[in-house]
Amino acid sequence: MNINDLKNSLDPDATGREMHELITELYPLCRSITGNGLRETLNRIRKDIPLEIHEVPSGTQVFDWTVPKEWNIKDAYVKNSKGEKVIDFHKSNLHILNYSIPVNRRVSLSELKKHLFTLPDYPEWIPYRTSYYKECWGFCLSHNQFLQLEEGEYEVFIDSTLEDGFLTYGELYIKGENEKEVLISCHVCHPSLANDNLSGVSLATMLAKHLATVSHRYSYRFLFVPGTIGAIAWLSRNEKSVSKINHGLVIAGVGDSGKITYKRSRRGDTEIDRAAVQILKQSMQDYEIIDYYPYGYDERQYCSPGFNLAVGRFSRTPYGQYPEYHTSADNLEFVHAESLGDSLTKVIEILHVLENNRYYHNLNSKCEPQLGKRGLYSSIGEDELVLLWVLNLSDRNHSLLDIAERSAYDFASIHLAAKLLLEHQLIAEHRRA
């Protein structure tokens, strides 16, 4: 089995349902950029793929950043003067401002309100908020809940710890025929948010599971890291081997029903960028290509000027462009098996381009070879035309992707034509220095 077989055999719907099931399992865990929720998540993923778990001690300097204290939380609530829990962490782990310090005190409503976050425009949704690098506490709640809070004294209780510990991340290296790597990275730090980014986590998991079963040219490195600090920590600890990364994708927000959006790498026209554009163009589905900008997910780190890696971002609707983003409405209903399966399929097709994008040279470069005597001449012009394109441009300077771009044939057709010509000894691979 190779990646071509994988591409052809994958059932997007069944796989999409499997991905949704993994999301469903991971959804209740209270993740953060450190702590036990993150560990439990990685351990669950290890059931599917042999993730290596790394623990980086709090206080470790990673480039301009310092690994923060580890945060854990057992319980959190706000009780009104009648002793009723008006906000309860156990009902939704979005209720707690992520990284809230421990608190046990009584406050007036006006004091409490300084620590409450709501979404007046979406009064039924709980926002998701964090305060990783500035110690404070707070609660998130629906605006409707907020409006029902009555004057009086409230009991605030947060049973959290913020102590020296570790930042945890997962890594999986799947060795290929050569040492050149494709990086697949997803952030795994958000609590109960399905699209952002359990969808990316499940796609990466499923992709790794399948890639492990097929042969491939590139080696693949999967990172399941807390956003920003996790990617920075990994880059800091692996600075010397980063140059092995030839291509990469940040996978995030791939389960919603919107069209696929590919964000180019900082370099803008690398092979991964062109492969993604090629696949989306020929997909006959709506899609969008956006240029690099220095914001977003961990492509910010991979594409920082000192690394400038060929890493693009694969998403559906971009973060912030759907109202459910970073709210309790980014839930299990917001992500769909169909979208998840489609996203995975497209990523595999992109990798298929990378895996098969080679240079050839035409062994009969002067005039056309006689296709007829080899049984390659069909009366249907178009079949023959794809062969002629590959022959005409196989001059050591055009890769199959170049040929697909110039001929407007899809990559898979160009690749099949090259395979046929190779079998008939009409072209030979040209290995570039």
Residues that bind a copy of itself (CB under 8 A): 62-65, 133-134, 228, 231-232, 235-236, 239, 266, 293-295, 300-301, 303-308, 362, 364-370, 372-373, 381, 384-385, 388-389, 391-395, 407
**CB of 77 or CB of 169, closer to a copy of itself:** 169
**CB of 176 or CB of 296, closer to a copy of itself:** 296
To the nearest whole angstrom, how small is the minimum distance from the Cβ of residue 352 to a copy of itself?
25
Closest CA to 152 of 113, 102, 103, 119: 113
Contact 270, 248 (CB under 8 A): no
Phi and psi of 356, rounded to 5°?
Answer: -110, 5
To the nearest whole angstrom, how small is the minimum distance from the Cβ of residue 362 to a copy of itself?
6
To the nearest whole angstrom, how small is the minimum distance from the Cβ of residue 407 to a copy of itself?
7
**Dihedral angle sign, alpha carbons of residues 321, 323, 326, 328:** negative
Contact 266, 392 (CB under 8 A): no
**CB of 338 or CB of 402, closer to a copy of itself:** 402
Closest CA to 188 of 201, 172, 173, 205: 201
Write the burial class of residue 161 (CB in 10 Å: 0-12 exposed, 13-18 middle, 19+ buried): middle
To the nearest whole angstrom, how small is the minimum distance from the Cβ of residue 404 to a copy of itself?
14
To the nearest whole angstrom, how small is the minimum distance from the Cβ of residue 328 to a copy of itself?
21
**CB of 144 or CB of 364, closer to a copy of itself:** 364
Cα angle, residue 183 at apex, residues 344 and 208 outer, rounded to 5°:
45
CA distance 233 to 243: 16
CA distance 65 to 47: 32
To the nearest whole angstrom, how small is the minimum distance from the Cβ of residue 390 to a copy of itself?
9
**CB of 82 or CB of 431, closer to a copy of itself:** 431
**CB of 82 or CB of 366, closer to a copy of itself:** 366
To the nearest whole angstrom, how small is the minimum distance from the Cβ of residue 4 to a copy of itself?
25
To the nearest whole angstrom, how small is the minimum distance from the Cβ of residue 232 to a copy of itself?
5
To the nearest whole angstrom, how small is the minimum distance from the Cβ of residue 32 to a copy of itself?
17
**CB of 202 or CB of 301, closer to a copy of itself:** 301
**CB of 29 or CB of 416, closer to a copy of itself:** 416
Q: CA distances (Å), 90 to each of 29, 118, 148, 162, 330, in order?
A: 11, 18, 20, 19, 18
Closest CA to 101 of 139, 136, 140: 136
**CB of 82 or CB of 367, closer to a copy of itself:** 367
Coil, helix or strand for 392? helix
To the nearest whole angstrom, how small is the minimum distance from the Cβ of residue 292 to a copy of itself?
8
Q: Which two tokens stand for residue 117?
A: 């976050």
**CB of 12 or CB of 253, closer to a copy of itself:** 253
CA distance 353 to 343: 16
**Dihedral angle sign, alpha carbons of residues 239, 245, 247, 249:** negative
Q: Which two tokens stand for residue 430?
A: 């040209």
Closest CA to 330 of 223, 222, 224, 252: 252
